[in-house]
Amino acid sequence: MQDHGYKAGRLNLPFVGISTFAKSPYVENWDEIEADIAVLGAPFDFGTQWRPGARFGPRAVREASTLFSFGHAGAYDHEDDATYLDGSVRIVDLGDADIIHTKTEESHANIELGVGKILKAGALPVTIGGDHSINIPCINAFAEDCAQNGPIHVVQIDAHLDFVDERHGVTAGHGNPMRRAIEKDYVSGMTQLGIRNVSSTAKEGYDDARARGSDILSVRQVRKLGAEVVLARIPQGARYYVTIDIDAFCPSIAAGTGTPSHGGFLYYDVLEILQGLAKRGDVVGIDLVEVAPAYDPTESTQILAAQLLLNFLGFIFHERAQR
């Protein structure tokens, strides 16, 4: 039997204490990271083309994550007959990258610095945005890591392709990140799931993405194929970087986002793919973006985001322990 946190003498309910991610220890000095997972907030939303508010995403997702922090010795899943994220998995919260208002390059540089520090410490970086432009510095931070360990395959779960090259001089907004990623010589390919409806990317962007080796599937196509077939299209044994835009989900369960798009995924649509991905290769980086809590008074969006991240992290480290 695992020891439970209750034996430490505190009940420590979700609404008690400071809201770090999953009530994990806070590490202020980024040169002293000793962990398996390090969470970094990236509260930047100056890259949005419509509704702002994702700057408050990291704070909301952290607070929502406390719902899953009752002090249990990990999380037992009766369907899998497995306990995930037990005491052997060390999670820390690094706080937020410094954001300089109206300064995209400087803010992105600070995010890149944080992700780079996590990688140098040998931990799995989990970055919570912010708008989707924060994926750009996250991918940039992998240059040195990939030079040593090999390329990454990007798996994007999103309503929008985000493959715009440049418009009116804008190259680092939330419509540009996947185009910036595919330009890296250490990004070996891309799988884009959930793409649907009106997007900031025009037809030539889709043509360009496919010409560069991207596999693009809509929600309806993913459901028609099924999770196993979709996973089989993703290179096996690769190093995966997973970027999740919360607008990939149906607004009926994730209304708190700047650019909602109807016809989205439901929870298990995505969870089954993430669990399969953890089994198929090595997940080396994650970001989750576009949670804008002001648009969802029920707070369900950030709870969905926190639950998805914690389950995904549980799958990743469960599979690593089996290898």
Q: How far apart are CA 176 and CA 108, in angstroms?
A: 14
Helix, strand, or coil (residue 92):
strand
Q: What is the pLDDT of residue 13?
A: 85
Per DSSP, what are the bridge partners of residue 288? Answer: 128, 244
Strand, coil or helix: 241: strand
Structure confidence at residue 4 (pLDDT): 63
Greatest Cα pair distance, the chain, in angstroms, is 61
Instruction: Quick: pLDDT tens for 92-146.
Output: 999 999 999 999 999 999 999 999 999 999 999 999 999 999 999 999 999 999 9
pLDDT digit string, tens, across residues 26-60 = 999 999 999 999 999 999 999 999 999 999 999 99
Single pTM value for the model? 0.97
DSSP β-bridge partners for residue 92: 38
How many angstroms separate the CA atoms of 235 and 231, rounded? Answer: 8
Map residue 129 onto helix, strand or coil.
strand
Q: Are strands 239-245 and 282-289 parallel, antiparallel or unpaired?
A: parallel
Instruction: Provide the CA 244 distance to its chain's centre, in angstroms.
Output: 5
198 pLDDT above the threshold of 80: no
Residues 246-250: contacts with CB within 8 Å, 24+ apart? Answer: 246/288, 246/289, 246/290, 246/291, 246/301, 246/304, 246/305, 247/158, 247/159, 247/160, 247/290, 248/157, 248/158, 248/159, 248/193, 248/194, 249/304
Span 277-310, pLDDT tens digits: 999 999 999 999 999 999 999 999 999 999 999 9
240 touches 157 (CB < 8 A): no
Determine the pLDDT at residue 1: 43
pLDDT of the residue at 8: 65
